[in-house]
Amino acid sequence: MKITIQDYSKIAKQLKEEYPKLSDFEILSLAIQIERNQILENELVVSSYDKHPVGLEAIAIALGYNKSN
């Protein structure tokens, strides 16, 4: 199931509220990592519907991969 990708600035604001002792650099680094992980998670998810393949699944289909390979 795909998740909603949050903007790193929104993630940074949440982190700042939850962890006020972190430096701005640490917060920004974490926010960017979280956003990147959300993007990767969405691209690596395998769809349950053949009509709507996502990420790597769509690439594999385009390259001609099927279950018998």
Q: Which domain holds residue 56?
A: 8-62
In-domain check, residue 69: no
Indicate whether 68 belongs to any domain: no
CB-based contacts of 10, cutoff 8 Å, min separation 6: none
- CA dist 31 and 11 (Å) reads 5
Q: What is the pLDDT of residues 15-25, one digit of tens each?
A: 999 999 999 99
Alpha-carbon span 31 to 45, nearest angstrom: 21
Q: Is residue 32 part of a domain?
A: yes
In this prediction, residue 26 carries a pLDDT of 98
* Integer Cα distance of 46 and 41 in angstroms: 10
Q: Is the whole-model pTM more than 0.75?
A: no
Domain membership flag for residue 53: yes
Could you tell me the end-to-end alpha-carbon distance of the chain, in angstroms, rounded to an integer?
A: 26
Tally of domains in the chain: 1
Higher pLDDT, 38 or 54: 38
Give the tens place of pLDDT for each residue, 34-53.
999 988 887 776 665 656 67
Is residue 46 assigned to a domain? yes
